[in-house]
Structure formats: C-alpha cells, structure tokens
Structure 1
Amino acid sequence: MVAALYIPFLFLASVYTASLVVGAVKARSERLPISEGSAQRTVGKDARERRCLGVVIPLYREDVHSIAATVKSILRQRSGDSLRLYFVLEEEDLETRQALIDALQRLGIAKKELQFEVIVRSGGRSSKAAAINYSLQSVSEDYILFLDSAIELGSATLIEDIVRLLKKYDVVFMPVEMGRGRGLTDTIALIDTAGWFEHVLPLIWLSTGYPVVNGGCFAARRALLLKILPLPEDVLTEDAYMRILFYKHRPSVVMLRSCCVKSPPRSIIEFAKQRLRWYRGYYQCIIHSFRLLGPRRGLKASIPFLTPLVNASQLLSAIFIILSIALHVLGSPMDAFMKLVLLAAFTHMFATFVTGVYGSYTVLSKRMARSLALAYSLLYPLLMLAEGALALGALAAPRIGWYRTRRSYVMR
C-alpha cells in the first residue's frame, strides 16, 4: 500500500531528472539564446525608438518603500525619460493608492518629467493575471515591460538592452534574484532563486524547448500579447501558464543576463505561503498543459511544473525508508519488489544530499561565508523535506487566493 502511493511520485521525479540529464547532454553542443547585455548607449534613430516601451507595474497591498525602490531603479535607466509607466491599482486598495502617491512625491516625479498613468481596475481583486489582462486596454506601446513592485532593475542599460532584443525576439526575460539580507529566510530565498536561474532553468530550457519566464521582470511585443491574452484569472502562476501558450504560438524567447533584484519574504511563514501559492499554481498549469496541448506536448510543457511533486517525492522517500526499516525490525517480510523500491528511495535521498552539496557552490559563488555553504549542504535535505510537506499541503489545502508576499526591505 505504501509503495503504491510512493511509486507515482518516484516516477514523476525520474521524468524530471531525465529532463535535466537530457538538458545537460544538449548543453555540450547547443547554446541557449542568452544575451549578456551591452554597456554602450544607443543614439540616433534607436533613441527615438525607445519611446515605444511601456512599463506595466501591477500593485496590490504594496508599501511605499517597495514602490519607491522600483521607480527609483527605473529613473536610473539611461533611457528613463523615454518611457511611460503604467501603475495598475485595484479600486478598493486605497492604502496602495496612497503609498503610490507618497512614493511619487518622495522621488519628485513631477520635476523629472517621467510619463506615467494610473490605471484603476474595478470589480474586486481576483489575481495578478486579471491586472495584466486589464492593463493591455490602456497600454499602446509596441513593446511592454512587466515589473513587480519591490523589483530593482539590474543595470543602467537594461531597458536599452530590452528594446534592442525585442527587435529580434518576441519575449525577453531577466533572472530575478532575491536581495541579500541577513536572516535564514533571506539566505534560503537567495540561493533558491540563484540556483534555479543559473543551473536548473537552462537545462529544462534545452530539453523542453522553452523556459519558465519570471513574471516579475519580463518584456514582450504587444503583437504577441494580443494573441496570448487574456490569461485565465484563476491561475495563481500566470508566468508559468505563459509557458504553455508558448507551445501554441511558438514565439522566440531570449534571456537577458542582467539580474533584477527582489526583496525576499519577510519571514519563514511568508516564505511558506509563497511556496503554497506557487505550488498550487504549478498544479493548475499541469492540468492546463494536457488540456490545451494534448498528451505529448502537454508532458513536455509540464516538466518544470513537476517541481513540487519532485519535492513531495523526497519527503515520501524518507517516510517510505523509515516505515520499511520499522516493518523489517518488527519481522515483516520484504519481497524483491519492495527491496527494489527501497533501493530507489535510498538513491533518491542520496541524490538530494548531492544536490545540497552542489548548491553550496552557489553559496560560494555569491561570496558568502564557507561556513554558510557547509551549513546549507548539510541542511538541504531537511529543507527539501519541508518543501515536500508544502507541496503535499498545496495539493490538499482549500483554495489559495492571490495575495502579496510581505517582504523584507533589503533593496540596494
């Protein structure tokens, strides 16, 4: 009985691992469309073309510091005076409306002649996808950049690079890295995002054909958005859902290697809530993948959405090992099949430990202390067990609504 419940999760984890292996093999001979950006300022005709970029910032339950940090990073852009900002507010969210007013006054926007427009959406809050859908009615620019609040743009030439790349590609996305704080949650969030964008995402991209675009910092041509929008408002991970639509519309996608920095969750509770929302959204995307694309393409599209099930399989591996040992001690016989499953569970847990050791290199690459790298590699299996519990919780929990993750303010 225990093995029957465990085997499906183990199988899905194997499919996910096989995808990473295929990506690693392809990485030897293939190169992804990744741009390093340019430090040179664009002039002449291109400078006029920069006016075709609109920046959409959906806001919901945001504080003045997060809004100000995002707008300030935009003002540091070399082409900042050529942009038009669109702030999308919810009608009933009066606190965020006041926070936006305070942030713009604090930065002296009126004196900087930055063009902006406030879009107020009525009808009650449903999801971030609803805000994105609604914004397209007001945004007329050819190229559109979507930013979360609490995001800080990585370089002073990032927007110039985005416009340059959108002349060739349909979608441009940037890695999002959590700001470096001092707490445990900050460290986990930083390593988690850095490891995903630097190691896991490229392999999935190579093996399946498309990446998962981070919804907090990506740009697209308006012509493409008119094809793929509206997004379903009940999906909690609208950025992951767009990956499914990529298989239908076949856009060209490029990653601009210029990290956008985001403040991490304020506490371990906020971190857990964020994971619950992500995991429930991934489960929704698995269903939509097969519904929209059919069995073959649906499986290919849903590979990255298996992440929470892989985490759940790690927890179930530990439980299965403990139960098997307990039954053996009590004298219960173990047949050949059960021994094979037990071996697979031990192998899975060993792979988890190896992954933690590999993750310690990410810690060192961020110039953190060696002691922290050692602690991370030792604690990683426990972290994955906790993630597995959250993944199972996202399966069983009642409806998880869209809400803002409360964040620590550690922006640069």
Structure 2
Amino acid sequence: MNNSWQRRAAAHPKAVEATTVALLFACTVASVLLTRSFMPGTPALWPGIALSAVGCAALPWRRGRPLYVLATATLCTMALGALGYLVTPGLMGPLLVAQYSTSVRTPRRTTWNSALAAAAGMVVTGVFVPSFLHSPVLTIVNPAAWVLLSAALGAYLRVRREYAAARAEHADRQREEEARRRVIQERMRIARELHDVVAHHLTLADAQAGTAAHLARTHPDQAFEIIAKLPETTAAALRELKATVGLLYQDDDTADLAPAPGLEQLPALVDTCSTVGLEVAVTVEGRPSPLSPVLDLTAYRIVQEALTNVTKHAATRTARVRLRYAPHQLTLTVTNGTNSGRPLVTSASGGGFGLLSMRERATAAGGTFHAGHRPQGGFEVACGLPLHRHDESPAT
C-alpha cells in the first residue's frame, strides 16, 4: 500500500502539493483560534487568518526560491506575534516548513545564516507578546529552538543525500576502474600472445633465411632444404597470429581459427628450431598430468620464448628443455650450452620483453619464475607452475 501511495503521489505532484498546503493552512488556522482563546487582550482574528494564509500560500515556491519563501514566512510569523498571538509550533507551521526546505536545498553556511536570522526574528517578536515578562521560555526560547531544530533536520537530510550521492559516484568510479583494469589486462594478454607469436616465428624465419644464404654457395642442397621449410614457419606464424587476433572479434565465427597451442606441439617446436641449427634435447621426468588449457598454453609459451631467446642471443647451438611433473607442480627448465659466450637473453639488461613476458605469464598462472646465469656457464630459465585438474582454471 505504501508503494501504491508513493506511485500516486509521484504521478500527481501538483495535487499532493495543494493538499499539503491546505492541511498546513488548516492546522495554522486552528492554532490561531486556539492561541487566541488563551491570550489576554483577544488578538484580532481576521488579520491572524490572513497572515497564516499568506505564509502558507508562499510555500509552493519553496523549492525554487527557498530564501524568499523563508523570509515571507518569517515576517508573517513575526507579525502574528506582534498582534499578540503566542508563537507556538502550530502557529509557526509555514515558517518551520520553509526553514526545513531551505536547509535541504541550500549550502551549509546559507542554511545556518538563514536559521539564525529567523531565530533572531522570533526572539525579537517575543518582546511584543503580553506574557513576555511571565513566560520568556514560551515566547523566546521555544520559538527560536523550533526554528533551529527544523534547520538541523533539513541539514541532516541534505548531508544524507550528499553522502548517498557520493557513494553512488564512488561506486560508479570503482566500476569504471574495474572495467578499465580488465581491459588493460586483456590488452596485456593479447600483447603477450602477439609478442610470442611474432618474435618466435619471425626469429626462426630470419635464422632460416640467414642459414640458407650462408650455405647457398658451399652446400646448396642443404640451403634448398632449409628454404623449403621456410613456408612452414611463416604459415605457422600466420595461423597463430590469426588465432590471437581472432580474440578481438568475439561476434565473428571462430570455428576456422587454430586452437591455442600447448605442450603437445613441443616436438614440432623442437623440429622448427633444428632447421636453424639449434639442437634441443627434451627430458620429461615424472608422470605427465593433464593440464588446463590456460596452463598448457602458459607452459608452451614460456618454453617457446626461452628457445627463441636462445636462437637470438646465445652463441651456443644446443639447448635443453626439462619438464618435471610433481603431484602439485610442473617445473619447466630451459638451459643453453655451457661456456658459450653470450647469455640466453638480454631482457634484464637490455630493452627486450622476453624475461618480462615469461615472468608475467608465470605469475598470472600462480607460479614462480627465475632466470639467470648458471655457475657452470650458460643461462637458465626455471618456472614452477601449479598443477590443476583439466576442468580448473589457474589461480590468478
């Protein structure tokens, strides 16, 4: 029933306003009649009713011009007191409503300045009431206190509304920041994928082309064999690039996109590296466990990036990949040859993104990452990834 009444009130605001003013005028007139019967000297009736009517008639403009309405209501109440009426809360109805509306709709300083001015007017009015010498509490303290109480209630409601608006704005900002953070994370993820695809395949293609050019005069058969495998490298790059960029088109049909690579493609990765003269030995320890798609992709990309950096930055032509399956962790270790000159990757000291990309992938999967020079020579990349069931997603 309460909701039904609120809907009706919202649908007929003018009728509600007129009813409210009429009821307030009736209460004010009743207070005029009641006060007149108890006051000595019997104040004039019709001027009291007229002043009450003027004060109530100004109230419909309290939302647009609250200070003018408050001034009108205050003057009417002071005039009633000057006529000899005892200024009671019922007689002050238009003033209290006007003061409350002013406190709700004006700043704090304006609220309290207007409240103090109205209270001062009530104090001055109390001097003209015949019972002033007998009851200063009724004629001075009581009217001023009601004005200040009305101002305090309006100010409280204004603060509550401002607080609710601030909370709503803060919640909107949080939602926007969360959405922005997710967009940035998605961009970072796609950027890592693009970096891994482009860096790996283009590095291998560049190495194949350089090797073929070097062998073209002395070993043409080997050069032609390497050149024949070059389209396979570029085709693989295009397939993975299409699959990665296809993530940006979620509304399109992605049935023809290649699936995300995983450790099952590790033999093909090793064969591709062998075409540029990098001999990779793969060792698997423990019983292989099924990996979730995200964790499988993470492990493959880390191995791929590490081998790519061996091809780009290491003087050695050999590398070793070790996969160790424990009950709750998969450990990936990629090392290049010993005593071979330059290290595996220069991301820590140069401007590349190899180490950064691998570290971010491992951290995003809830794992650990370490890369550095080995005491016996060479460079090592070690990564520990927590194992999950095939239907689980890695922790972030």
Confirm or deny a common fold (TM above 0.5): no
TM-score scaled by length of structure 2: 0.21
Could you say which structure has the higher helix fraction? 2
Question: TM-score scaled to structure 1, two decimals?
Answer: 0.21
**Pair member with larger Rg:** 2
Higher relative contact order, structure no. (Cα contacts within 8 Å, ≥ 6 residues apart): 1
